[in-house]
Chains A and B, each alone.
Chain A
Amino acid sequence: DAGVIQSPRHEVTEMGQEVTLRCKPISGHDYLFWYRQTMMRGLELLIYFNNNVPIDDSGMPEDRFSAKMPNASFSTLKIQPSEPRDSAVYFCASSLGGSMGFFGPGTRLTVL
């Protein structure tokens, strides 16, 4: 298996623009997690899905953030409008059964 795939690997955008991050989980995994990593706050869980259904989005910082999982092999995290404080590395992870986390390579987002 290719592991968790994320795109793009790097994104530079200007404040106010919409940003969409994409994730393809490991085939057969039933859990998908979105994390954000910053120097100040470390690794934070934003949202997770089970069988494509959002289970817990309490970590989503505000309404500017939204996540979808239209099918078992694809998820998106959208930020609209983006702000400089959203600059971070965003990780997607997937798991079979929820108690394991295989991470993607991350997307480094820079909002100018």
Chain B
Amino acid sequence: AQTVTQSQPEMSVQEAETVTLSCTYDTSESNYYLFWYKQPPSRQMILVIRQEAYKQQNATENRFSVNFQKAAKSFSLKISDSQLGDTAMYFCALCNFNKFYFGSGTKLNVKP
């Protein structure tokens, strides 16, 4: 079975500071992909960052980076220099054999 767990239902961070969102997953497959999606109040699901499991190097996209620990099945998202526009729900997702499995989400509030 494939599962994705986000243990932080809600987090807050001050503008310009750094925050880390946690995600753990479980899969018996060796080849898979991991994602972080952002869902602002508009409901749009926006792809933030993608990591291929066979790559050891952590993915980065501007202010967003991940800490991928394959042995520990951990995939955390770090947001640097937080901005008010980062306020949203963040979903961690696992993809293998073309099927996506989503965590329950972490609501991030960026405070001015």
With A42-B105, A99-B95 known as contacts, the answer to whether A33 contacts B100 (CB < 8 A) is yes
User: Which residues from 28 to 87 on chain B have a C-beta closer than 8 Å to any C-beta of chain A?
Assistant: 33, 35, 37, 42-47, 50
Interface residues of A, count at CB 8 A? 23
* B2 CB → nearest A CB, Å: 11
- Residues of B close to A99: CB separation below 8 A: 33, 95, 98
B98 CB contacts on chain A under 8 angstroms: 31, 48, 50, 55, 95, 98-99
Q: Are A108 and B43 in contact (CB under 8 A)?
A: yes
Query: Which residue of chain B lies nearest to A107 when distances are taken between CB atoms in the complex?
Result: B43
Please report the C-alpha to C-alpha distance between residue A55 and residue B43 in the assembled complex, in whole angstroms: 27
CB of A43 within 8 Å of the partner chain: yes
The reply to whether B47 and A101 contact each other, CB–CB distance below 8 Å, is yes
Residue of B nearest to A99 (CB): B33
Instruction: Mark A68-112 against chain B: 1 for CB-CB distance below 8 A, else 0.
Output: 000000000000000000000101010100111111011010000
User: With A42-B103, A42-B104, A48-B99 given, can you name 8 additional A-B contacts, CB distance below 8 Å?
Assistant: A98-B95, A99-B98, A100-B47, A101-B47, A105-B42, A105-B44, A106-B44, A108-B43
Instruction: Please list the residues of chain A having a beta carbon within 8 angstroms of any beta carbon in chain B.
Output: 31, 33, 35, 42-43, 45, 48, 50, 55-56, 89, 91, 93, 95, 98-103, 105-106, 108
Q: Give residues in B with beta carbon < 8 Å to A.
A: 33, 35, 37, 42-47, 50, 91, 93, 95, 98-105
